Amino acid sequence: MDYDIKDIGLREKGRNRMGWAEQEMPVLRAIKKRFKKEKPLAGIRLSACLHVTSETANLMETLKAGGADLVLCASNPLSTQDDIAATLVADHQIATFAIKGEDNKRYYQHIESALYHNPIITMDDGADLVSAIHSSKKEFAVIGGTEETTTGVVRLKSMADKEVLKFPVISVNDADTKYLFDNRYGTGQSTLDGILRATNRLVAGSVFVVAGYGWCGRGLARRASGMGASVIVTEIDAVKGIEAVMDGYRVMPMEEAAPLGDFFVTVTGNTKVIRKEHFEAMKDGAIVCNSGHFNTEIDIAALEKMAKKKRVVRDFVEEYTLSGGQRINLLGEGRLINLASAEGHPAAVMDMSFANQALSAEYLVKEAKGLQRKVYPVPKQIDTVIAKLKLQAMGFGIDKMNKEQERYMASWNIGT
């Protein structure tokens, strides 16, 4: 088996951390148990391009239990947990190509290695694997793919609109049991975790600027506010702006927020959201980071150009001194800070995200033939099953309609 990881000697640490995550992943455990018996992915070559974390390792084990023939590569140069890569290779014989801190060249070589597997199903986080397939001269036998994140779905929908997408892709991101929990609570907590591990700065009493009020921004604003920060939201969408105001935050353009903020976090999916004129206006010691998928949201090239001096002051913190003397601290090279300096979303939310991944892969094996070259939602019944299993595992019950209530609700559907 071919692989490229940092150090196989890290396997024991990785094994322990993988087990720690598994304890919080009851839905995935239930799927793994069924997959072991039913083998719905028997013989299916599956290439996955995901953040190589303890949660992803549990997904890989589940897919393998279902009979999949797997290769895994990193979906970001800074998000790999090297101990997890070691346990995947050494304990689970899963071909893994991922090293934390790999340069761009190695990152794309690793994607090539995942494609060399000649996948029948792709599993992406950010659509880099699907993009590589589409720009390759080789022909692939892919029947379908799954996509984990908002940015990936945006890229794939644009390909589908231009009619260049070569196979159907299931948008795992858009399942209720994914974005409502992973994007909101997962990003909210793990982004703060990343910022705190990198800086150990006090959030209470600070001014915390959140750029983008999608599900990730909402979660982040709520957690920062809960820790005592005064939160400012910047937006380009008026409706989201109103929501942020009514949720209790100040809303203003980045230009006005720049001189006020102690922390700045981008979660927009867009490009150059924080740029030259904003850096110029910032306070000495401002912390700037990103939790969106790509490292495009902060104009790092402009910061590099403006800075008189640059030095690493802590792990994951680069201090740029501007000509006016103020110091701007950029975290994690502008890459996803929740995965760069912390461990990504907690297992309890990845449980649902990855349950969607596993069940969507099973769905593709059964149904891909009938699908077109489009982006499809996760089937409702999959979302519902996952929600029920999760709520049950958390020890909560819900009501069930009685016959009278069913008849009452059905009466509204007459003629529709």
Which residues of this protein are in contact with ligand ADE, per CB under 6 A? 50-51, 53, 55-56, 186, 339, 344-345, 350
Of 175 and 339, nearer to ligand ADE (C-beta) is 339
Tell me the closest approach of the beta carbon of residue 329 to ligand ADE, in angstroms: 23
Tell me the closest approach of the beta carbon of residue 177 to ligand ADE, in angstroms: 15
Of 40 and 344, nearer to ligand ADE (C-beta) is 344
Of 195 and 328, nearer to ligand ADE (C-beta) is 195
Of 254 and 342, nearer to ligand ADE (C-beta) is 342
Q: Which tokens hold the place of 358? A: 């596993």
Of 143 and 340, nearer to ligand ADE (C-beta) is 340
- For residue 217, is it left (φ>0), alpha (ψ between -120 and 50) or beta? alpha
Half-sphere exposure (Cβ direction) of 273: Cα atoms closer than 13 Å: 28
Tell me the closest approach of the beta carbon of residue 149 to ligand ADE, in angstroms: 7
Q: Which tokens hold the place of 278? A: 């904003």
Tell me the closest approach of the beta carbon of residue 336 to ligand ADE, in angstroms: 8
Pair type for strands 95-97 and 263-266: unpaired
Q: Which tokens hold the place of 72? A: 């895994």
Return the residue nearest ligand ADE (CB atom): 344
Pair type for strands 375-377 and 144-147: unpaired
Task: Report which residue type is found at 70.
Answer: L
Of 31 and 339, nearer to ligand ADE (C-beta) is 339
Tell me the closest approach of the beta carbon of residue 57 to ligand ADE, in angstroms: 9
Of 25 and 221, nearer to ligand ADE (C-beta) is 25
Torsion on CA atoms 270, 276, 278, 280, rounded to nearest 10:
160
Tell me the closest approach of the beta carbon of residue 51 to ligand ADE, in angstroms: 4
- For residue 325, is it left (φ>0), alpha (ψ between -120 and 50) or beta? left
Tokens 């005592």 belong to which residue?
Answer: 228
- Please give the Cα distance from 2 to 174 (Å, whole number): 34
Beta carbons of 409 and 401 less than 8 angstroms apart: yes
**Residue 161 buriedness (CB in 10 A; 0-12 / 13-18 / 19+):** exposed
Tell me the closest approach of the beta carbon of residue 50 to ligand ADE, in angstroms: 6
